[in-house]
Structure 1
Amino acid sequence: MADFIALLIRWTFRAVLLLLGTVVFLVVLALGLVLAVVWALRALWARLTGRPVTPWVMPLDPRASWRMVYQRGQTRRASASAATGADVTDVTEMRETPGEWPESQFGRILPGEADMDITDVQPREPQRPL
């Protein structure tokens, strides 16, 4: 009897899942058909009125989000300096020669250290991977 009930529950569960899948499929199919009908009516109306059939597009400009972030930073910076009532005046200008990394990237190299010979390195055999 327990086997029969387990079999009945399994088949009921499968039937419910099949029914839910069918409903989702039909809903997506219906939405696609409605969209196709709306597009066809729009194209027909454009042809009847003599206008060109323009596609539906979603304007996506990747620069727009960066521009928005940049403008927010500018307004925050302007409001912060206006809130303090004074502009920053103690900044010194640093210029780097083109093609060189800033010293802060790799630590400080003292003058003359770059030209020194390295003599304390001992050659070794390469290790095998484990």
Structure 2
Amino acid sequence: MMNFVIRVILLLLGLVFAASLAVAVMLLAAVWGVRYAWGRLTGKPVTPWMASMGGRFNPRSGFDRFRNAAQPAEPTAADVANARARGESVERPVRIRGSASDVTDVSPKSVSPRG
């Protein structure tokens, strides 16, 4: 008996889901119909949905955006001028500040030859 009740509940849930999908499709068709009728009434051409939302879909643009983001940006003229004024390398204006004598938390070890 309990198995039958669960099946009836699942059937009713499926019917509610199918009805909601049907209502959504009908609303979308109604919106498209009103849009088409308004275009015919005013004499304006009716553009497809994607064309009115920003043009054609180009899958290459997504790949290009991420490929270009991975490449390091070229230094600008201001970056080059600032690097030269500070005495740094123009190719890589980042300089490690300080020297090896500033390090206090490690002690250097001598290199012994293998033998």
Q: TM-score range by the shorter chain?
A: 0.5 to 0.7
Report the Cα distance in structure 1 between the residues aligned to 2:17 and 2:41, rounded to whole angstroms: 36
Equivalent residue for 1:36, pick from 23, 29, 32 = 29
Q: Structure 1, residues 4-28: CA drift from partner, whole Å, max 9, x if none?
A: xxxx101100100000000000000
Equivalent residue for 2:40, pick from 47, 67, 73 = 47
Q: 1:78 to 1:18 in 2, by over 3 A?
A: same
Report the Cα distance in structure 1 between the residues aligned to 2:62 and 2:46, rounded to whole angstroms: 30
Aligned to 2:91: 87
Q: 1:85 to 1:72 in 2, by over 3 A?
A: farther
Q: Which has the higher contact order (CA 8 A, sep 6+)?
A: 2
Report the Cα distance in structure 2 between the residues aligned to 1:85 and 1:49, rounded to whole angstroms: 65
TM-score w.r.t. length of structure 1: 0.52
The CA deviation at 1:51 is 0.7
The runs of 5 or more residues in structure 2 that have no matched partner are 80-87, 93-115
The CA deviation at 1:32 is 0.1
Amino acid at match of 1:31: A
Instruction: Give the root-mean-square deviation of aligned CA atoms.
Output: 2.6
Tell me the secondary structure at the aligned position of residue 51 of structure 1.
coil
The CA deviation at 1:85 is 5.3
1:61 equivalent in alignment to 2:58:
yes
Amino acid at match of 2:59: P
The CA deviation at 1:79 is 7.3
| Off by >2 Å, runs of 4+ in structure 1 | none
The runs of 5 or more residues in structure 1 that have no matched partner are 1-7, 89-130
Report the Cα distance in structure 2 between the residues aligned to 1:48 and 1:85, rounded to whole angstroms: 67
TM-score w.r.t. length of structure 2: 0.58
Q: Structure 1, residues 90-118: CA drift from partner, whole Å, max 9, x if none?
A: xxxxxxxxxxxxxxxxxxxxxxxxxxxxx
- What percent of counterpart residues are identical? 35
The CA deviation at 1:70 is 2.4
